[in-house]
Chains A and B, each alone.
Chain A
Amino acid sequence: MVNPVLSLRGVTKRFGGLVAVNAMDFDVAEREVVGLLGPNGSGKSTTLNLVSGALPLTSGTVSLWGSPISGLPAQTINRKGVSRTFQLVRLLPSMNVRENVIAGAVFGHRRRWGHDAHDHAEHLLDKVGLGGKGDMPLRQLTYIDTKRVELARTLASDPKVLLLDEWLAGLNPTELQIGITLIKSLRDEGRTIILVEHVMDAIRSLCDRCVVMAAGTKIAEGTPTQVLSDKEVIRAYLGDDDA
């Protein structure tokens, strides 16, 4: 791959004796949507945490446009243009919807403050489908709306790379379609996206490429159709019942 936006080389994470992520290698090209798949506990979220700086690496490197970002604190990685959502939605409970979005805009990759940040937040709320709800307190939001707020906050710093950790999980079919359309529009804006996802419909319609993990190791890489028919992948998901 020429000039990958993000590349992982030998990325490893140990918790005591347990190897959660074992020598992961893969690249993500600009404007690409890459799905990170695998059964529960296979190390997908941990990999995402290593990229975003939430956890320190045991060994290996993560590079952004060729320069290493592994070892940097989360805030520095965010300022370089990598932004994420969380597996369990994390919002700021003491703030209203708009302030939650502004929180993403003030300190990140592209910084805004004052009226600028306010207007930008309104614009993003419109975009994620929460137009006019800026003054609402969080406790009045539905589940998908909390996900929308989190996405808007993630977008507020105008990131180049988006890490979405099961952002589509738990949505009903209608909401899922809305979500898929939204993510597509983000790619069309020129963002590079890594998805940790279980929802197969979303993977098929969104991902250019998939990386499949099992027990911390990469077991397959390719287009969604390729990896989903890979024997190794099927065994990882369904178990070794024919062995």
Chain B
Amino acid sequence: MSLTKTDIRNLILAAAALAICALLPLGDNGYWLGLGVTIAMFTTLATSWALFSGPTHYISLATAAFFGVGTYVTGLGIDALPFWSLVAIAGLIGAVLAALVGLATLRLSGVYFVIFTLGLAELVRQSITWVQNNTGQKGLYVLTDLDEAGIYWWLLGLAAAVFLTGWLIGRSRLGFALRVIGDDETVAAHSGINTARAKVLLFMLPGAVAAMTGAILAPRYVYIEPSLAFAPILSFQVVIMALLGGASRLWGPLVGVIPFTFLLEAVSSNFPNQTTLVIGIAFLVIVYLLPGGFVGLLGKILHRLNAREGA
């Protein structure tokens, strides 16, 4: 594999952007850092989501399930193991869980996948609470010295890893296979692509990343409760942010996450009593006015410009 000049330039630019982002906690340690954590968290989740769902068109609503598993890994292990190993374990468990779910459901058509993944968070949550209940486990408190800046840097590192992985996958046979599958699964199979394996492999990525994100954020929540750790709303937020940006490009979700986070922030600070209502309206505006996300919008504008130049 060789890098072209553009590749090298892009990598340097990305590294520079990452370095600038990493400086945020030095500038502001409060409100903006808090927003930074939110943005980093959703960027990580939405980008990894789009790596799978973008090419395959499967809408996964399993983010909350993996995320919750991750918070539980930290919650259960924080007194026994170092934090970094918990993040790694969470990633591993997330990947294995995703592989199992993928093996069971990815052969099915899209809508069954949507519903099964939506139920998955509830299923995992019930199973965990049942085990907790039957082992007499007390509430989980995650009391660490990891502060907001530390969590931010962890998330930023994970986000960088996701982007790098996504970039590498895009250049790999796996990435190419997924584009073929997304276009026409029959052709893919008849071109020698093991479609089931490719999909399961790729589904493990958002599974692992969401679990790691959960593990990283657990210290921020301090107290791990099933109903909070597995809140299904998270899955939907990730989907809408990724689609707002556009799932067809690696950087697409990022351009969805940032404006959406600020929009949510504006809504919840200005309409404390109608937050849900206004979020719902914003949702519809996106669906009706921006069907292809910002990426699609950009594509349209570029297309129009090109057409004008050609004429």
Contacts and interface: CB of A to CB of B under 8 A. Distances in A.
Whether A and B touch (Cβ < 8 Å) is answered with yes
Interface of A: 52-54, 73-75, 78-79, 83-84, 86, 90-95, 102-104, 106-109, 111, 113-114, 153, 157
Contacts of A86: 186-187
B180 interface: yes
Interface stretch (B12-20, B114-122, B128-136, B188-196): B188-196
Contacts of A93: 183
Interface string B156-189: 0000000000000000010011011011101111
Contact of B187 (A73, A92, A109, A114): A92
A93 B180 CA distance: 9
- Majority secondary structure of chain B interface residues (helix, strand, loop or mixed): helix
Contact of A114 (B1, B177, B184): B1
A115 to B, nearest CB: 9
A105 to B, nearest CB: 9
Interface residues of B, number: 19
Given A94-B179, A95-B179, A114-B1, A103 B186 contact: no
A197 B195 CA distance: 30
- Majority secondary structure of chain A interface residues (helix, strand, loop or mixed): loop
Contact of A103 (B1, B191, B194): B191
B4 to A, nearest CB: 12
A67 B262 CA distance: 62
A107 B192 contact: yes
A104 B187 CA distance: 9
B187 A90 contact: yes
A98 B186 CA distance: 19
Given A83-B190, A84-B190, A114-B1, A92 B195 contact: no
Contacts of A92: 179-180, 183-184, 187
Interface of B: 1, 173, 176-177, 179-180, 182-184, 186-195
B177 A107 contact: yes
Quick one: which of B176, B184, B188, B190 has the most chain A CB within 10 A? B190
Nearest to B183: A92
A54 B192 contact: no
Nearest to A114: B1
A74 B193 CA distance: 9
Contacts of A54: 186, 189-190
21 contacts: A52-B190, A53-B190, A73-B194, A75-B195, A78-B190, A79-B192, A86-B186, A90-B186, A92-B179, A92-B180, A94-B183, A95-B183, A102-B176, A103-B187, A106-B173, A107-B191, A107-B192, A107-B193, A111-B192, A114-B1, A153-B191
Given A75-B195, A157-B192, A90 B177 contact: no
A90 B184 contact: yes
Contacts of A95: 179, 183
A103 B188 CA distance: 8
A150 to B, nearest CB: 9
A103 B176 contact: yes
Nearest to A52: B190
A232 to B, nearest CB: 33
Contacts of A83: 190
Given A90-B187, A103-B176, A106-B177, 4 more contacts: A73-B194, A108-B191, A109-B192, A153-B187
Given A94-B179, A113-B173, A104 B191 contact: yes
